[in-house]
Chains A and B, each alone.
Chain A
């Protein structure tokens, strides 16, 4: 009966010539079995490290994107946003343009490139920018996997300079989460008050659109009444009007209008 013990069986196997079919199959099986166990153990033990590395990388990317949105970091970090991604939107259709890499897209250069931009009909050009790029970067922030905020880059003529700003909108596509200007050349002490945190704090919670989807948010002279109005800056009427016009343009059909209607329909 000792012939049946595993050790004997093993010895007899090793004694077989290397050309033997049984030995070939057994060796092939054992080598792959041991190799797969080896790889599996490594994969399982190293998995926490891989996940931690990926999480770190995502956090770093998030921090870099927040840092690239001046003035927005308070809104973004305060909202408990846990994911952030940049997309390029085809403004005419409101669809994401998957073939453009957000990391290399330069919207200002595109606005001056005839191949990538379109002239704006003068009756629609309320913001006075004459030419706009066909594509624009939007940043989408998610919280627990659900869309939480979108951040849109906007620009328009103020009193004597181009105003550049980021407009953050809630998932309903209508409520403002924040408006921050990051580049302007308005009259110091008067027009430049658009940069003051007190004035920017008036924006969150305001509504952009009426029931027909037309942009009616505006900066009014004196005290604001209702959800569609924001206090004007005394002495800076034209800067205030510039801000209103800028928002009307970018919320309209030549701006992010098609994209925002998709957002309201839950298609983003």
Chain B
């Protein structure tokens, strides 16, 4: 039981897919200009991830190795199409704001990564927990980045004005940079820095050692 719980809790910080594996950051940059879009995207990705992991895990013993990636992509893509259609039917405004990024969940490395690395080799229940954990880990990062960007970029959270804006007679001058994609890189970088200072075991070994000028001259 303890082991199965770790499937769920590990991806939150210890093995977070975004900050440790740096997976799925394209959408993490694009949809985090406000908390509500980040929330919708996080929910959509978590649902797709859970359903695809469960489906792939349940047929894992019968996926021919030669076409396994195609089979996985087919399952993921079908789920994403249905998710996109659901959003367009029941959350039309939100789906217009998310535009193509829901459809691009297909190409999100996180989903295929969990299918390939975990669900393909493990039973249904651990796969479900792993998918839920990774979905929550991704959601956590998206919500942190989305909250910071909306709070400092528009002085609001979920559309409610937290800081009164200068243009409405308040004191807060919005940081326009926060509404642009680079700010997501900065916030994500700072988050990774904080997490790796707290948990130094996540720091990767450098792939190449810097050689000293002496060694360079006398190889």
Residues of A within 8 A of B (CB): 14, 18-20, 23-24, 27-28, 31-32, 35-36, 38-39, 42-43, 46, 49-50, 53, 56-57
In the complex formed, the residue of A with least CB distance to B83 is A42
Q: Which residues of B contact A39 (CB under 8 A)?
A: 78, 81-82
> Taking each of A18, A19, A31, which has the highest tally of chain B beta carbons within 10 Å of its own beta carbon?
A31
With both chains docked as a complex, state the minimum distance between the C-beta of B66 and any C-beta of chain A, in angstroms. 6
Contacts A18-B63, A24-B64, A49-B90 given: A42-B71 contact, CB under 8 Å? no
Flag if B64 contacts A35 (CB, 8 Å).
no
Which residues B80-103 have CB closer than 8 A to chain A?
81-82, 85-86, 88-90, 92
Out of A27, A35, A42, which one reaches B86, CB within 8 Å?
Answer: A42
In angstroms, Cα B90 to Cα A18, docked, is 41
Is B70 in the interface zone, CB < 8 Å from A?
yes
Q: Is the CB of B85 within 8 A of A46?
A: yes
Docked pose: A19 CA to B70 CA in angstroms: 15
Known: A46-B85, A49-B88, A50-B85. 8 other contacts (CB 8 A): A14-B62, A19-B65, A24-B66, A31-B74, A38-B78, A39-B78, A46-B89, A49-B89
Assuming A24-B67, A49-B89, is B62 touching A18 (CB within 8 A)?
yes
Q: Are A50 and B89 in contact (CB under 8 A)?
A: yes
A50 and B88 form a contact (CB under 8 A): yes
Distance between Cα atoms of A43 and B88 in the complex (Å): 11
A14-B61 Cα distance, complex, nearest whole Å: 9
> Distance (Å) between the CB of A46 and the closest chain B CB?
4
Q: Which residue of B lies closest to A57 (CB)?
A: B92
B13 / chain A contacts, CB cutoff of 8 Å: none
- Shortest C-beta distance, B60 to chain A (Å), equals 10
Task: Give A56 to B96 CA distance when docked, in angstroms.
Answer: 14
**In the bound complex, do residue A43 and residue B85 qualify as a contact, i.e. CB atoms below 8 Å apart?**
yes
Judge if B75 is at the interface, Cβ distance under 8 Å. Answer: yes
Query: Which of A18, A27, A32, A38 is B82 in contact with, Cβ under 8 Å?
Result: A38
Rounded to whole angstroms, the CA-CA distance of A49 and B85 in the bound complex is 10
For B67, the chain A residues whose CB sits under 8 A away are: 24, 27-28
Q: Could you give 16 example pairs across A and B, Cβ below 8 Å?
A: A18-B62, A19-B64, A20-B64, A23-B64, A24-B66, A24-B67, A27-B64, A28-B70, A31-B75, A35-B74, A35-B78, A39-B81, A46-B85, A49-B90, A53-B88, A57-B92
In the complex the two chains form, what is the Cα distance from A19 to B81 in whole Å? 30
Q: Which residues of B contact A (CB under 8 A)?
A: 59, 61-67, 70-71, 74-75, 77-78, 81-82, 85-86, 88-90, 92
Q: Which of A20, A27, A42, A46 is within 8 Å of B63, CB to CB?
A: A27
CB contacts (< 8 Å) of A31 on chain B: these are 59, 71, 74-75
Give A170 Cβ to nearest chain B Cβ, in Å.
Answer: 35
Please give the distance in Å from B47's CB to the nearest CB on chain A: 13
Report the minimum CB–CB distance from B132 to chain A (whole Å): 21
Top 4 nearest A-B pairs (CB, nearest first) are A49-B89, A35-B78, A24-B64, A53-B92
Taken together as a complex, chains A and B put the C-alpha atoms of A194 and B90 apart, in Å, by 48
Bound-state Cα–Cα, A56 to B71, Å: 38
- Expressed in whole angstroms, the minimum distance between the Cβ of B203 and any Cβ of chain A is 39
A35 to B88 alpha-carbon distance, docked (Å) = 20
State the Cβ distance, A33 to closest chain B Cβ, in Å: 10
Given contacts A14-B62, A19-B65, A27-B62, contact A35 B75 (CB under 8 A): yes
- Shortest beta-carbon distance, B76 to chain A, in Å? 10
Bound-state CA distance A220–B88 (Å) is 57
A24 cross-chain contacts in B, Cβ below 8 A: 64, 66-67
Q: In the complex the two chains form, is A53's CB within 8 Å of B89's CB?
A: yes
A14 nearest CB neighbor, chain B only: B62
A164 CA / B78 CA spacing, docked (Å): 54
Instruction: Verify B86–A46 contact, CB threshold 8 A.
Output: yes
For the complex formed, measure the closest distance between the CB of B206 and the CB atoms of chain A, giving whole angstroms: 39
- List the B side residues contacting A38 at CB < 8 Å: 78, 82
Given A31-B71, A32-B74, A35-B75, A18-B86 contact (CB < 8 Å):
no
Q: In the bound complex, how far is the Cα of B95 from the Cα of A53, in angstroms? A: 11
Give complex CA distance A50, B77 in Å. Answer: 20
Of all chain B residues, the one with the shortest Cβ separation from A53 is B92
Within 8 Å CB of A35, what residues of B? 74-75, 77-78
**Complexed CA–CA distance, A49 and B92 (Å):** 10
- Give Cα A43 to B82, complex, Å: 8
Q: How far is the CA of A208 from the CA of B67 in the complex (A)?
A: 72
